[in-house]
Structure 1
């Protein structure tokens, strides 16, 4: 082989090797680029748009409304003239209130009208159950500005409540209602007529072994409400339909 032919063969071989290396490099770059494209696509699919401020605000508002509805409930009445109560769980100790009335493991007090519930203003009933939880009962839709003025337990479920005008010195009592703290039902026990004010109640044992309802009532004798006297009477258990 001549020197010229030998050099020609070397050059041809070099060109072939260079071409093979170039093709191999291009193929490797193409394969390496494909995962990057898929990764970018996956990132786009997995990324979720952040909620707008309006959406966040609506979510917070709905959460707040749910909490409020859960904490406050209304008592039930059949007679539209019988007041309803808004029942709300509370952790605050009652202030400016009457001494606790205790029956077994339950207790009741009137908050906001002083230790005898005779001060002017709208009070509310505070009930503490056997587990120690406290609930406030406030008259709902109270356009007449009535207030609880006296409470007495009949048993550990039924609380007798005197409700009358929250303002004025003439009204020292009112009509008598029964609040069932287990069912939330409120019913009329005794309707006080004009110039009458139920001021106190208690249960007394009768000869037949049942308990009757004793009522003490202030009765005004004149239109100027300057003369008055007290009357006392008993309602037999058989007529206490609000407890049945």
Structure 2
């Protein structure tokens, strides 16, 4: 018997699960082969240890070695090349799995790497565009600086133009538009007592008296006022209200008697305290006829200027009336600061 056959059937010999003739031949072989005898003795020692370890209460498990040997994976410990290859794959499956994962990730991210490269190219192109824009901005800045250097000259021309515009404005003041006004006359009860008024003003011969009701003593409060006229002898009273004033933007502010029939009335903005005066009108208290006192703007008022009050009047020949008025004259272009001046206008009267 050769050594290969002996070792192949060694387990059967140890378990005594072998034919008699084969057993005799194997025992004869270990007598002659020292190496196989050593292997046989080692296997006997291992079998004894297994039986001792599996014994419970002095009861030994029969065929324990055989069952263990049967449980051993023959594929794992087979000698054929295919079995060895499969066993190798199972043994190093973790390593091969990692390698496969790396390869998969590489395949997945390769397109993105390509896109990153394109992105870098695009970014580079964008940076070049920014550089071009910066260059253009630099050129624009140079142009602005060049323009700034010539600004004093342009500003000088602008000032000259403003001066010419002011001259044109001064010429236009003569044709200053003054809105037409009309009053409605209504009779009041004799016992009517005007309140919140600026006091009674008597006519030249004291036949009549008049007051502005609704704007306080100084006539500077906000609101639309009413002119009240009272006859001294009969104590009859009439109210004069502005027509076409539905928006409540205008109001009579003060009155001044020319004679026993006609009143000079200043009409201005009803709301706010910034406006102290307005435009001047002539009101006939008998007929309620109203005309603009200075339609041609002989007072040469600036745009935005106002007549603050009537200082005095003087009748002239040929039905002319000289009116001394106090006007506001602005000291700045934004009409924030002003001073008062007296001016004379001459108007026709009937």
- TM-score between both structures, scaled by the size of structure 2: 0.43
Structure with greater Cα Rg: 2
Q: The residue matched to 2:194 in structure 1 has which SS?
A: coil
Question: Does the 8 Å CA contact 1:215/1:232 hold for their aligned counterparts?
Answer: yes
Contact 1:154 1:203 in 2 (8 A): no
Residue 135 (str. 1) matches residue 238 (str. 2): yes
Quick one: which of 85, 89, 105 aligns to 2:207? 105
Structure with more of its chain in helix, by fraction: 2
CA contact (8 A) 2:182 2:243 kept: yes
Change (3 A) 1:86 1:205: closer
Match in the other structure for 2:344: 234
Question: Which segment drifts farther, 180-189 or 83-92?
Answer: 83-92
Are 1:114 and 2:224 matched, yes or no?
no
Counterpart-to-counterpart distance in 2, 1:187 and 1:169: 26
**Residues 1-244 of structure 1 mapped to structure 2, 5 A cutoff:** 81-91=179-189, 92-103=192-203, 104-130=206-232, 131-142=234-245, 143=247, 145-190=249-294, 193-205=302-314, 212-236=322-346, 240-241=347-348, 243-244=349-350
Q: 1:184-205: CA deviations, max 9, x gaps? A: 2100003565221111114344
Q: CA deviation at 1:87?
A: 1.4
Which residue in the other structure is 1:34 paired with? none
Query: What do residues 70-101 of structure 1 show as CA deviations (whole Å, max 9, x unaligned)?
Result: xxxxxxxxx99411112111122101001101
Instruction: Specify the alignment match of 1:41 in structure 2.
Output: none
> Secondary structure of the equivalent of 2:306?
strand
Give the whole-Å Cα distance in 2 for the aligned partners of 1:206 and 1:146: 29
Q: Is the 8 A contact 1:98 1:116 kept in 2?
A: yes
Contact 1:203 1:211 in 2 (8 A): no
Higher alpha-carbon deviation: 216-225 or 124-133: 216-225
SS in 1 for 2:341: strand
Q: Alpha-carbon deviation of 1:148?
A: 0.5
Contact 1:144 1:165 in 2 (8 A): no
In structure 2, what is the Cα distance between the partners aligned to 1:166 and 1:188?
19
- TM-score norm. by structure 1 comes to 0.60
- State the SS of the aligned residue for 1:118: coil
* Aligned structure 1 segments of 4 or more residues deviating by more than 6 angstroms: 206-210
Q: Give the drift of 1:139.
A: 0.7
CA distance in 2, matches of 1:146, 1:111: 14
**Contact 2:325–2:342, Cα closer than 8 Å, also in 1:** yes
Shift of 1:157: 0.8
Out of 134-143 and 218-227, give the one that drifted further.
Answer: 218-227
Which of the pair is proportionally richer in strand? 1
The structure-2 alpha-carbon separation of the partners of 1:206 and 1:151, relative to structure 1 and needing over 3 Å to count, comes to: closer
- Deviation by residue 1:176-232 (Cα, 9 ceiling, x = unmatched): 000001222100003565221111114344897985210111123335443111111
Match of 1:37 in 2: none
Gaps of 5+ in 1: 1-78
Task: Please provide the CA RMSD for this pair.
Answer: 2.5
